[in-house]
Amino acid sequence: MTVGPGHDADVAALPPEARAAATAGVNGWTAHGLPEAGVGELTLLDGPLGLVSRTMDERDTATLLPSGTSLAASWDPDLVHRVGGLLGAEARAEGVDVVLGPNLNLPRTPFSGRAFEMFSEDPHLTSVLGAAWIRGLQEHGVGACAKHLVANDTETRRQAMDVAVDEADLREVYLAPFEAAVEAGAWSVLTAYNRVRGEHCCENSALLRVLKDEWGFDGVVVSDWFATRDTVASARAGLDLEMPGGPRFFGPALAGAVRAGDVDDARLTDAAERVARLAERVGRRAGFSAPPAPAPLAPAERVELLRAAAAAGTVLLHDDGGLLPLRTGAGRTLAVLGPDAVVPCLQGGTFAKVTPATRPTTPAQALVDAFPGAEVAVAPGCAPPGLQPFAEVVLEGFAPGAEEPGATQVRPTSTFVWFGEIPGIGGPGVGGRVRVSTEFTAEVEGTHELLLGGTGNGVLLLDGEPRATWAAPDPADVMGVVARADTVATGVALTAGQRVRVVGEFDLVPGRVQSVTLGYRAPAPAGLLYDAVALAARADDVVLVLGDDRNASRESADRTTTHLPAEQLRLLHAVAAANPRTVVVLDAGHQVDTSWAGEVGAVLVPWYAGEEFGPALAEVLRGDREPGGRLPLTFARSDADYPGHGVGLDDDLVLDYRRIEPAGAAHFQAGGPVPAYAFGHGLGYTTWRLGAVQAERDGDDVLVHAEVENTGGRAGDDVVQVYGRAPGATRSRLVGFARVHAPAGAKVGATIRLSHRAFRRWDSTAGRWAVPGGTHVLTVARSAADPQALELEVER
The catalytic residues are: 224
Burial grade of 545 (CB within 10 A; 0-12, 13-18, 19 or more): buried
**Torsion over CA of 551, 557, 562 and 566, rounded to 10 degrees?**
-50
Tell me the DSSP string of 627-673.
Answer: -----SSPBPSSGGGSTTTT----TT-EEEGGGT-S-GGGGGSTTSP
Stated as kind and residue range, the H or E segment containing 770 is: strand 768-770
Packing angle, helices 252-259 and 265-282, rounded to 10 = 140
Beta-strand pair 199-200/195-196:
antiparallel
Where do runs of H (alpha helix) occur along 455-554? 478-484, 528-538
Cβ neighbours for 391, distance < 8 A, ≥ 6 positions apart: 412, 413
Phi then psi dihedrals of residue 355, to 5 deg = -105, 110
**What angle (nearest 5°) sits at the alpha carbon of residue 529, between those of residues 525 and 534?**
125
Where do runs of H (alpha helix) occur along 230-362? 231-237, 252-259, 265-282, 299-312, 339-342
Is 412 in contact with 453 (CB distance < 8 Å)?
no
Is 137 in contact with 180 (CB distance < 8 Å)?
no
Cα–Cα distance for residue pair 187/505, rounded to 1 Å: 43
Cβ neighbours for 777, distance < 8 A, ≥ 6 positions apart: 724, 725, 732, 791, 792, 793, 794
β-partners of residue 318 are 603
| Of 597, 617, 601, 598, residue with least CA distance to 540 | 601
Cα–Cα distance for residue pair 567/62, rounded to 1 Å: 33
